[in-house]
Structure formats: C-alpha cells, structure tokens
C-alpha cells in the first residue's frame, strides 16, 4: 500500500490492476485506517479515474453477498448515486416498482439496490420500510421476490460486509469519496443492465465507460435538471427529469454514446418541481402510493419516464416512447401496485 500511496502523492493515478490491489487491501481489512483515509482523500482531490473506479468496483463486486436471479429472467437495477440535494421523493424506487409491474410478464425483473439516505430526506430503504417492505430478509427470499413480484430490494449494508473496514474512515472524513459512486456499480444480483443516475453531468460519460469495462450489456447513465420556482436556477437531479433537460450516456453494442434529452420531445409536460419535493419518508411513500393508485400529475410522469428508461435497457421496450406506454399501462392496470403488494407480502413471510 505504501508504494501505491507514494504514486498518488506523485500525482500519478492508479491503473485498474493497482486499484484492485489497493481496494483488496482496504476491503479485506489489511490496510491501516490512516492509509485508507489518505488514499480516498488523494483520489477525491482530483476525482477518480475510470481505471480506479473499475478496480474498486471489481473488488467490491467480488466480496458482495450475491442474489441469485431465477432462471429465464433478466435482471436490471435503477440505483443512483444520490447526493443531488434535490429533496425529491424516491423516484428511482417508484420507477423500479413500475418497471417490475410492466416487465415481469416479459421475463424482466428489478434487483433494486439501495441504502439509507445521507443527503436527502428519504432514502430507498426508508421509503420501502415505510411502505411495509421488510428489509432484513434472506437471499433466498430475495430470489423468490424476483420470481413472484418481479422486484426485490438489495439493502446495501447486508450485501457488502467488506465495507465495514472502510465505513468508519468514510464517516470520519465527512466528505464524498469514490465509494459514493462505486456503490451503484456493485449490484448484488450482477444486473448487467441498469439505469444509474449521477449527481453531476460531467459523470455520465465517465461512469458509462466504467460500466462498459465492467461488462454491462445495456445501461443509461443519466443526469437531469430541476428548475426553481422562477426557472432561473437549476438543481442537479440524479434521475431523468420531466422539468428540464437531461444528459444521457448510453452503453450499448460495445460503446458509449452521449446525448441530450428533452422530455417534451416524448410528449411529456414540463411538470412543476415543487410537486416532487418531500420532507420525510412518509411523504415520499404517500406520493408513491398515490401514483400506483392512478393519481395524475408531475410525480406520475417523472416515474413513468424513469421506468421507461429501465424497460428500454432491460430490452423489453424498443424505445423510451414504447417504455412510457408500458409504464403508464402498468400503473393504470394495477400491475405496478400488484408488484409492490407482492414484495411486501413475500418479505414479511421471511423468518430471518
């Protein structure tokens, strides 16, 4: 580790192989806490490279507690980085539920990866717990959820025990590190298709290149804009936005393409961002419940858009337009609500 730290002090980034070496030492508990802190701080000062992220994610994936995907099903994920400070309800969690309702009849399932929130009022685990989903369940139950509900929730702390070695250091540092980006790259079900929201537009193409090297088949790395009340200032959004422009980097056919996406081109109205804001997991759960009950408005449209992206990368929708139609249908026919109901029932049957 000392040689790797000396290289970083000399302003030389780590190769993917060196990053694997460094993070293997960190996640196996062999690195000293001072070494871990130094490495994380030096990388963060200049931002992580593609190779460093690939190396860290490779190690973290190898040490994860795996979830088996039922034979014949394709798994996707909608986990984002968080950290956008937008204060919205849990859009990616709601879109995962809708995508499950639409996709499960077509052999698509959602292994939703997530955690408690640090920067927002409601994390994915908090809102699902509020909705009645039991978080502490066996991996066998998670597999059953994928099969019968079309969705499971992979609670990050239960699947990444090796992070216990880096966790205290991250807490002591108190600033964002590359682990905030690596987490969404380490789906416990090994989902080779995903929609990943990021907190900065400059990250979309870089993270897409990381996913490509990690073996993703089809992915979208997205960043949206959320305007304030008078439209003069834009907040970052680690989702696709229906209130502003979006930057999307697409992994497909062995390459990466980056484009801008205007929601009005898909026939969506520019929803008012205030309708998306919440101050608690209970408020977020209420919005999700209303969406699944068929309530119209900006929350319904932004969830359908993000579900459409998930259905597209999952290979069951030919385009975002097709995905939107499928998402709205899943909501209106009750298939999305049925997916959540089944997830609640199956997890609460678990005796873990």
115-147 per-position pLDDT tens digit: 876 555 678 899 999 999 999 999 999 999 999
Q: Average pLDDT in the 35-44 region?
A: 97
Q: So what's the pLDDT on residue 226?
A: 86
Would you place residue 227 in the very low, low, confident or very high pLDDT band (cuts 50, 70, 90)? Answer: confident
The secondary structure of 145-163, three-state, reads HHHHCCEEEEEHHHHCHHH
Q: Average pLDDT in the 254-260 region?
A: 97
Domains and CATH numbers, the chain: 2-62 (1.20.970.10), 74-347 (3.40.1030.10)
Q: Which residue has the higher pLDDT, 175 or 247?
A: 247
DSSP assignment of 222-239? EEEEEE-TTSS-EEEESS
Q: Average pLDDT in the 173-195 region?
A: 93
Would you place residue 148 in the very low, low, confident or very high pLDDT band (cuts 50, 70, 90)? Answer: very high
pLDDT over 90 at 286, yes or no: yes
Q: So what's the pLDDT on residue 230?
A: 62
Closest among 234, 319, 323 to 273, alpha carbons compared? 234
Q: So what's the pLDDT on residue 147?
A: 98
Residues 308, 76 contacting (CB under 8 angstroms): no
Q: Which residue has the higher pLDDT, 256 or 168?
A: 256
Q: Average pLDDT in the 5-17 region?
A: 96
Q: So what's the pLDDT on residue 115?
A: 81
Mean pLDDT of the chain: 93
| Dist. CA 318–CA 7, nearest whole Å | 46
| Dist. CA 244–CA 201, nearest whole Å | 13
Q: So what's the pLDDT on residue 174?
A: 85
Would you place residue 229 in the very low, low, confident or very high pLDDT band (cuts 50, 70, 90)? Answer: low
Q: Average pLDDT in the 264-275 region?
A: 86
Q: State what percent of residues in the chain have pLDDT above 90.
A: 82
Q: So what's the pLDDT on residue 351?
A: 81
| Dist. CA 170–CA 186, nearest whole Å | 18
Handedness of CA 209, 211, 216, 220 (dihedral sign): negative
Residues 78, 97 contacting (CB under 8 angstroms): no
67-108 per-position pLDDT tens digit: 999 999 999 999 988 766 678 899 999 999 999 999 999 999
Q: Number of H helices and number of E strands within the chain?
A: 15, 8
Global confidence as pTM: 0.94
């Amino acid at each position: 580790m000392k040689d790797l730290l000396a290289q970083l002090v000399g302003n030389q980034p780590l190769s993917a192989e060196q990053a694997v070496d460094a993070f293997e030492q960190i996640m196996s508990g062999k690195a000293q806490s001072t070494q871990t802190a130094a490495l994380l701080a030096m990388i963060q000062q200049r931002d992580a490279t593609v190779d460093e992220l690939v190396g860290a994610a490779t190690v973290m994936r190898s040490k994860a507690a795996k979830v088996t995907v039922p034979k014949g099903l394709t798994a996707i994920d909608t986990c984002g980085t968080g950290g956008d400070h937008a204060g919205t309800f849990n859009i990616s969690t709601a879109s995962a539920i809708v995508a499950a309702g639409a996709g499960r009849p077509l052999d698509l399932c959602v292994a939703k990866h997530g955690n408690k929130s640090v920067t927002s009022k409601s994390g994915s685990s908090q809102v699902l717990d509020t909705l009645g989903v039991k978080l502490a369940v066996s991996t066998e139950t998670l597999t059953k959820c994928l099969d019968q509900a079309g969705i499971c929730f992979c609670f990050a702390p239960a699947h990444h025990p090796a992070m216990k070695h880096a966790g205290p250091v991250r807490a002591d540092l108190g600033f964002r590190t590359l682990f905030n980006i690596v987490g969404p790259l380490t789906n416990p079900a090994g989902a080779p298709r995903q929609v990943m929201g990021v907190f900065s537009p400059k990250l979309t193409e870089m993270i897409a290149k990381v996913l490509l090297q990690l073996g993703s088949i089809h992915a979208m790395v997205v960043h949206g804009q959320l305007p304030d009340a008078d439209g003069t200032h834009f907040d970052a959004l680690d989702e696709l936005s229906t209130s502003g422009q979006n930057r999307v980097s697409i992994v497909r056919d062995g390459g990466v393409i980056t484009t801008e996406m205007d929601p009005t081109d898909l026939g969506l109205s520019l929803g008012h961002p205030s309708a998306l804001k919440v101050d608690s997991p209970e408020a977020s759960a209420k919005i999700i419940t209303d969406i699944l009950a068929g309530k119209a408005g900006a929350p319904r449209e932004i969830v359908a858009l993000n579900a459409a992206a998930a259905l597209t990368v999952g290979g069951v929708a030919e385009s975002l337009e097709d995905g939107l139609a499928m998402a709205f249908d899943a909501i209106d026919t009750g298939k999305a609500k049925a997916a959540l109901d089944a997830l609640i029932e199956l997890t609460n049957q678990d005796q873990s």
